[in-house]
Amino acid sequence: MRYLLRRIGFYLLAAWSALTLNFFLPRLMPGDPATALFARFRGRLGPEALEALRETFGLTDAPLISQYFTYLGSVLHGDFGISVAYFPTPVMDVIGTGLVWTLFLAGTAVVVSFTIGTLLGIGAAWWRHGVIDTWLTPVFALLGAFPYFWLAMVALYILGFTLGWFPLGHAYGDDLTPGLSFAFIADVLRHAALPIATVVLATLGGWLISMRNTMISVLGSDFVNLARAKGLPQSRVVLKYAARNALLPSITGFGMALGFVLGGSLLTEIVFSYPGQGYLLVQAVRNQDYPLMQGIFLVITLAVLGANLLVDVLYLWLDPRTRESTS
């Protein structure tokens, strides 16, 4: 339990760092962002808009410390300010619409990719110089060298545009109403297939190679050798002795890679016009909508921290050494 508490403490610290970073960034940058924004949107934003903007940044005349606490207070209440691009919608509402789709896309892709990659990695290590090791590993490594969003472009072009097998964008067809109907779910899956497949293909190589290398290392350890000496069947030696242990560093790596994969997933969303955070990000950048950008940053960071915590819980379950202190 102490392990979990320490991890939670760390994530709280990381979250606080992100919040504080968000607070200080506009204040550190050259120029006064609010005024600069106003200058940019000369005439397009009324005085109320400018006021709202100033408030979002907490740029009041109060001393820095109280500005900071006001800021923290609003964030904890879910108030991330007002979006510029979607004025006057609050940032939280703008983000809310897309969050589900991003979590669905990235979450599914990551789980599928990790599972398949890990299984293949075990196979590659066990059957050294076999089919998986010689062919699949380099193929997936090569696929991983392409930017995710480029693979998305290729997939969209060939499978969507040229062959017409998959829809060209969005999360579901315009003619369907969202709901738990079979038709709707099927349509969602059809629309999600290419984006998820893209992210899976791009990231599979990483998990495969990492698991393969860890497995090779573990297969050389004394306890695996002893397992063989005990006359245990191959399957048990590979799974319960080798893989079970090789999985541990793999899971640790999984947690660390989540943020990175999420980033790539966001870019993939853009190619497919998938209505998630990626699309919002582009709008935010294009319109220099700082409140929205910062809001997305915070939300995504919190999501990644939460996911990392889940991974830590999983690790706790898998590794008996973390469950209590050593004697």
Partner 1 sequence: MNEKLLSIRDLCVDYITDQGPVRAVDAVSLDIHRGEFIGIAGESGCGKSTMAQALMRILPPPAIVSRGEALFEGRDLFSLSEDELRELRWKCISLVFQSAMDALNPVLSVGEQITDTMLAHDAANAREARQRAVDLLEMVGIPGDRVDSFAHQLSGGMRQRVCIALAMALEPSLVILDEPTTALDVIVEHSILTEIRRLQRRLDFSTLFITHNLARMLQFSDRVAIFYAAKLVEIGPSAELRKAPKHPYTQGLLRSFPSVRGSTEELTSIPGSPPSLRTPPAGCRFHPRCGLAVDICRERSPELMLYGGDHSAACHLAT
Partner 2 sequence: MSGSTAKSESGFSVWLTAIRRDRKAAAGTVIISFFILVAILGPLLVGDPKAPIGMPLQPPSAEHWLGTTGQGQDVFAQLVAGARTSLAIGFGVGLVVVAIGALIGIAAGYFGGRVDGLLSLLFNIFLVIPGLPLAIVIAAYLPTGPLTLGLVLVVTGWAWNARVIRAQTLTQRKRDFVAATIVSGESSFRIVACEILPTMTSLLVAQVIGSTVYAIGAQVGLEFLGLGDVSAVTWGTNLYWAQNDAALLTGAWWTFAPTGISLALVGFGLILLNSGFDEITNPRLQMEHAWRIHLKRRGHEPTRSTPVVIER
> For residues 12 and 20, what is the distance between their CA atoms, to the nearest angstrom?
12
CB of 26 to partner 1, least distance (A): 48
Q: Which residue, 162 or 177, has its beta carbon nearer to partner 2?
A: 162
Cβ atoms of 292 and 91 within 8 Å: the answer is yes
Tell the residue number behind the tokens 């050294």, with chain if given: 128
CA distance linking residue 316 with residue 242, whole number of Å: 18
Q: What's the token pair of residue 299?
A: 């939300």
At 97, list the tokens.
Answer: 């619409």
Asked if 270 interacts with partner 2 (CB under 8 A), we say yes
Nearer residue to partner 2 within complex by CB, 116 or 153: 153
Contact status: 316 vs partner 1 (CB under 8 A): no
Least distance in Å: CB of 306 to partner 1?
Answer: 26
Helix then strand then coil, in percent of the chain rounded to 5, is: 75, 0, 25
Does position 297 interact with partner 2 (CB under 8 A)? The reply is yes
- Smallest separation, CB 317 to partner 2 (Å): 21
Of the CA atoms within 13 Å of residue 305, those in its CB half-sphere come to 19
Residue 321 binds partner 2, judged by CB under 8 A = no
Give residues 192-231 in contact with partner 2 (rule: CB under 8 A). 213-214, 216-217, 220, 228
CA gap 86, 55 in Å, rounded: 16
Q: Which is nearer to partner 1, 40 or 228 (CB)?
A: 228
Query: Is the peptide bond prior to 88 cis by the omega test (within 30 degrees of 0)?
Result: yes
**Residue 256 within binding range of partner 2, rule CB under 8 A:** yes
Helix H segments across 1-135? 2-28, 33-40, 47-56, 64-76, 91-126, 131
**Of partner 1, partner 2, none, which one sits near residue 17, judging by CB under 5 to 8 A according to partner kind?**
partner 2
Quote the tokens at residue 320. Answer: 């008996």
Q: Considering only the stretches 80-88, 94-102, 153-161, 177-185, report the one whose residues sit in contact with partner 2 under the rule CB under 8 A.
A: 153-161
Residue 2 sits in the site that holds partner 1 (CB under 8 A): no
Q: Identify residues 184-243 at the interface with partner 1 (CB under 8 A).
A: 220-223, 225-233, 236, 240-241
* Residue 40 found at the interface with partner 1 (CB under 8 A): no
- The residues binding partner 1 (CB under 8 A) are 220-223, 225-233, 236, 240-241, 244-245, 248, 318-321, 324, 326-327
